[in-house]
Amino acid sequence: MVTEIGRGVYWVGVADWALRQFHGHELSTLRGSTYNAYLIVDERVALVDTVWDPFEDELLAHIREVIDPAKIDVVVATHAEPDHSGSLRAIMREAPQADLVVSRMGVDSLGGHYHQPWKYHVVGTGDSVSLGERDLQFIEARLLHWPDTMFAYLTGDNILFSSDAFGQHYATAFRTNDRADQRELYEEALKYYANILTPFGARVERKIQEILEMNLPITAIAPSHGVIWRENPMQIVERYREWAAQTPERRAIVLYDTMWHATRRMAEAVGEGLAERGVPHKLFHMAVSDRNEVITEIFRSKAVIIGSPTLNRGLLPTITPILEDLRGLGFQHKIGAAFGSYGWSGESTREIEAHLERSHVTKVADGVSVKWQPTEEDLERCRDLGRTVADAVLA
């Protein structure tokens, strides 16, 4: 449903309640998502972002509820990722005279995606486009999260269109944060940050500083996914600053896979050691867990304890992806340890420790390896591992 979010500013996007996988199958979206596009009707008409192309007819229908799409004068592409640029071809067919406003990097990325002879209007930080009574001002935001990302700020109404920053994969009945379930909203905002923006924390902090120093009044933050932050919009900015600092909570995560339950029993014993010291924690069996939920929990936790049996002198294949995430996402301030069972060769624990070192996770205890099924003595060693990690979490 088209929703007016400011004076002559309309949400004309699409709620995709059924979406469960994003980025191909890289990211789970268990609460769906929205592709937010914003139509601004002033003396000139602007469209900020489009939607993923399977939904282009819905986008056009939503725009037509407000105005003939042929009357669009300015199209802003805040970055070229296809969930927002996918309907550009349809829009530019309807409004071929429109200025297509992009960042410098956007010329390359949009050109590379669509190979169309569009005439780009290239802008950088400090540039603006007049819509008549109001202006759209632009702020480049490289690598938040694409190289071409930029924000747009609507003067007069003081709305910051923040591209993917401050967004959530969260389909909702209503468009604004004050009408969303606050627990779900923050779970999704954190999942989004942890899975997508973790590597860019320093840039997040610098960009927030830059925007604060511009002294722009901000009455709403309108991201490209999820709800619009209208009630106390700076609350999500403050949360982003906290998340960018990556100060972990005093909690732990134990993640493992298992073949014949030996490593599972070890994981549970590690958990008992953590519990004895009163450290909150969760156990995730990676064969049946959502990888992105695990990443979010790693983001929150100070300690990451990983277990795998040895298979073919290495790890079970369900463990390897999360180790790659641990390295690739660049988590900071983490401590960790490893454990695992084996039959005839026992490389898994050492291999996990090597991954932890590569990921700059500080080892706080030697790993525990157990041959065949653990004895009560072995399980006590695992509990001891949990206690040692717990002490480091609480130190």
Provide the minimum distance between the beta carbon of 69 and ligand FEO in the complex, in angstroms, as a whole number.
22
**Nearest CB to ligand FEO, comparing residues 107 and 275:** 107
DSSP secondary structure, 56-120, as one string = HHHHHHHHHHHS-GGG--EEE-S---HHHHTTHHHHHHH-TTSEEEEEHHHHHHHHHHH-----E
Please, what is the minimum distance in Å from the beta carbon of residue 163 to ligand FEO? Answer: 7
164 classed as catalytic: yes
Beta bridge partners of 307: 256, 339
CB-nearest residue to ligand FEO: 81
Give catalytic status of residue 35 as yes or no. Answer: no
In the DSSP assignment, the letter for residue 246 is T
**In the complex with ligand FEO, which residue's Cβ is closer, 243 or 284?**
243
Work out whether the CA dihedral 376, 380, 382, 383 comes out positive or negative. positive
Known catalytic residue at 186: no
- Nearer Cβ to ligand FEO, position 86 or 336? 86
CB of 147 to ligand FEO, least distance (A): 11
Choosing from 192, 240, 256, 342, which is the catalytic residue? 192
- Footprint of ligand FEO on this chain (CB under 6 A)? 79, 81, 83-84, 145-146, 164, 224-225
Specify the residue, 29 or 348, whose C-beta has the smaller distance to ligand FEO: 29
Catalytic one among 56, 157, 164, 257? 164
Catalytic pick among 84, 225, 281, 355: 225
Catalytic residue among 16, 42, 56, 81: 81
Query: From the CB of 63, what's the least distance to ligand FEO, in Å?
Result: 20
8 Å CB contact between 285 and 371: no
At residue 305, the 3 state secondary structure works out as strand
Q: Is 81 a catalytic residue?
A: yes
Indicate the DSSP class of residue 228.
B
Closest CB 83 distance from ligand FEO, rounded Å: 4
CA distances from 238 to 129, 278, 372 (A): 29, 29, 49
Catalytic residue selected from 62, 84, 145, 169: 145
From 16, 35, 49, 79, the catalytic residue: 79
Residue 83 designated active-site: yes
Length of the chain: 395
Q: Which is nearer to ligand FEO, 85 or 341 (CB)?
A: 85
Helix, strand or coil, per DSSP, at residue 183: helix
Does the active-site annotation cover 145? yes
CB of 240 to ligand FEO, least distance (A): 16
Q: How does strand 99-103 pair with strand 74-76?
A: parallel
Residues 6+ apart with CB under 8 A from 113: 80, 82, 85
- Select from 387, 291, 299 the least CA-distant residue to 23: 291
Residue 225 annotated among the catalytic residues of the structure: yes
Residue with smaller CB distance to ligand FEO, 118 or 146? 146
Tokens 């795998």 belong to: 308
Supply the residues annotated as catalytic: 23, 79, 81, 83, 145, 164, 192, 225
